[in-house]
């Protein structure tokens, strides 16, 4: 009998050890490492009730995706203001709710009122700026009309614009034939002009200061005309530059270049002055020298050792 009791005690001891070995050890994870809900908020956030059934939007507009439906009297956490919407958190979901659907406390009402005042101030500043630009624009347009009544055009290839009404004064600018200017006054054989500098990049839009668009200087009256003159083309300017750089060009070649023609015996530089750069050049080099074919759309020029020897239409 004693042996039976001893055996039974041993069995209970073994069972107790087995149960102890199955016990889960307590977690050592720090409470702070528990993941926060999606869209957790800072301590500056405000918890507010919703006074109407509302939709929670993905963006601060009613056309964006609806993330959730919020029943009336539900509590939301307001984080920030975005126009007509609040950025809020509802049951761990961040989204936007229409402000009028939120039962705002005093703090939020003051925030909304401040935003409305700022918006009104911004609109008033914008309206004042538009009115100012309109006044400046009207003034500039009137000034421009007055200037147009005294329009003149340069009537020579290029005219020197000088700092004063003497031939010894400094040259301020060179204006091409056909450049439009406005005559301000006359003094003997000279006229004082208001003109746009050749390197001006500003576009007149009736709102800027006209003084930034024009400069003034003196020109001999014989170099201007009150009749409209077409502005000198880029091709004519190129020919003029060549002839100014090569004053000893023969009269025959000079007339051809001025009229935009090519004639046999021209050099390559003369041809470029007259017709511009070719679209393509085919070159052949041999013991006899260098032959070149210049391609101009439907025309071909042939050079031998830098001299035009023939052409083909």
Instruction: Determine how many CB atoms are found less than 10 A away from the CB of residue 40.
Output: 12
Q: What is the pLDDT of residue 301?
A: 96
Our CA angle for 81, 83, 88, nearest 5°, is 35
Give the tens place of pLDDT for each residue, 36-54: 333 333 445 678 889 889 9
Q: Please give the DSSP secondary-structure letter assigned to residue 61.
A: S
Angle at which helices 251-258 and 234-245 cross, to 10°: 160
Helical ranges in the chain per DSSP H = 2-21, 106-148, 234-245, 251-258, 268-275
DSSP state of 267: B
What residue ranges of the chain are covered by domains with CATH 2.30.30.40? Answer: 35-104, 118-231
Indicate where the chain has its CATH 3.30.1450.10 domain(s). Answer: 234-312
Decide yes or no: CATH 3.30.1450.10 for domain 234-312.
yes
Query: Which of these, 91, 75, 77, 13, lies nearest to 43 by C-alpha position?
Result: 77
Spelled out in words, what is the top-level CATH class assigned to the domain 118-231? mainly beta
Q: 35-104 has which fold?
A: SH3 type barrels. (2.30.30)
pLDDT tens-digit readout, 159-208: 999 999 999 999 999 999 999 888 989 999 999 998 888 765 544 444 45
pLDDT tens per residue across span 98-111:
988 888 776 777 77
User: pLDDT value at position 198?
Assistant: 76
pLDDT for the residue 299: 93
Report d(CA 298, CA 46) in Å as an integer: 79
Summarize the confidence of residues 125-137 as an average pLDDT: 68
């Amino acid at each position: 009998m004693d042996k039976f009791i001893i055996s039974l005690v041993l069995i209970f001891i073994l069972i107790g050890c087995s149960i102890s070995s199955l016990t889960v050890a307590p977690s050592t994870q720090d409470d702070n490492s528990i993941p926060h809900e999606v869209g957790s908020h800072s301590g500056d956030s405000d918890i507010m009730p919703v006074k109407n059934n509302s939709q929670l939007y993905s963006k601060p507009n009613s056309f964006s995706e609806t993330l959730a439906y919020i029943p009336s009297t539900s509590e939301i956490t307001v984080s920030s203001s975005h126009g007509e919407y609040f950025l809020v958190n509802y049951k761990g979901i961040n989204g936007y709710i229409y402000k009028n659907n939120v039962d705002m406390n005093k703090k939020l009402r003051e925030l909304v009122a401040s935003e409305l005042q700022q918006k009104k101030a911004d609109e008033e500043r914008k309206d004042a700026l538009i009115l100012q630009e309109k006044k400046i624009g009207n003034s500039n347009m009137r000034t421009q009309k007055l200037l147009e009544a005294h329009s003149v055009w340069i009537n020579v290839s290029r005219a020197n614009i000088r700092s004063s009404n003497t031939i010894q004064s400094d040259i301020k600018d060179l204006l091409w034939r056909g450049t439009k200017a406005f005559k301000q006054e006359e003094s003997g054989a000279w006229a004082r002009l208001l003109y746009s500098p050749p390197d001006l990049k500003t576009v007149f839009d009736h709102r800027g200061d006209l003084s930034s668009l024009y400069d003034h200087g003196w020109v001999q009256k014989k170099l201007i005309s009150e009749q409209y003159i077409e502005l000198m083309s880029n091709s004519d300017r190129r020919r003029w530059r060549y002839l100014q750089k090569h004053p000893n060009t023969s009269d025959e070649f000079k007339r051809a270049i001025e009229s935009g023609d090519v004639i046999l015996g021209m050099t390559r530089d003369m041809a470029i002055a007259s017709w511009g750069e070719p679209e393509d050049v085919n070159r052949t080099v041999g013991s006899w020298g260098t032959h070149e074919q210049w391609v101009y759309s439907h025309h071909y020029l042939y050079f031998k050792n830098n001299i035009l020897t023939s052409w083909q239409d």
